Amino acid sequence: MITDDTTVNGVRIGGAEAGSDQGARTIELPSGARAEVRKGYGRDLMRAQRATAGGDANAVVFALIAEVTRVDGRKIVYEDVLEMDLADVMALQAEVIDENFDRPPQRASQASSNQDSQSRS
């Protein structure tokens, strides 16, 4: 059996992640290393939460970075993120949290909407 075909509960294990080529961005880290950050999925968050059983939100973010990132072509693990230079971690955190996920457009706050309608009266 080819490792790319191995799944557990419908989740591909071994080999390339399903859809890893789609939506991946390559960034150069401050250290000069190249990181490929792929689009995240719910299963990635679930794995990150399992890896950090204590529920510490910061640890979950580090584990999530490890789930969706390859550095210089190799898969990384949570402990690798802990050992990275701070500048690299911050760059990856910004990519994973801020830029990797589509966010709905922000709605105007209720207070600003009321002020706009009052100024037109």
pLDDT of res. 32: 96
**More confidently predicted of 40 and 19:** 40
Report the predicted TM-score, pTM, of the whole model to 2 decimal places.
0.66
**More confidently predicted of 25 and 106:** 25
Q: State which amino acid sits at residue 3.
A: T
What are the boundaries of each domain within the chain?
A: 20-101
Q: Using alpha carbons only, what angle is made at residue 33 by residues 30 and 37, rounded to the nearest 5 degrees?
A: 95
What pLDDT digit, counting tens, does each position of 61-84 carry? 999 999 999 999 999 999 999 999
pLDDT of res. 116: 56
Q: Give the span between the Cα atoms of 77 and 42, in whole angstroms.
A: 18
Q: Is residue 104's pLDDT more than 50? A: yes
pLDDT of res. 1: 37
Which range has highest mean pLDDT (4-18, 71-85, 90-104)?
71-85
pLDDT band at 97 (very low <50, low <70, confident <90, very high): confident
Class of domain 20-101: alpha beta
CB under 8 A, 24+ apart: contacts of 79-88: 84/31, 85/30, 85/31, 87/29, 87/30, 87/31, 88/29, 88/30, 88/31, 88/33, 88/35
Q: Is residue 53's pLDDT more than 70? A: yes
39 CB burial (10 A radius; 0-12, 13-18, 19+): middle
String of DSSP letters for 65-117: HHHHEEETTEE--HHHHHHS-HHHHHHHHIIIIIISS--PPPPPPHHHHHHHH
Q: Is residue 37's pLDDT more than 90? A: yes
Q: Are 97 and 61 in contact (CB under 8 A)?
A: yes
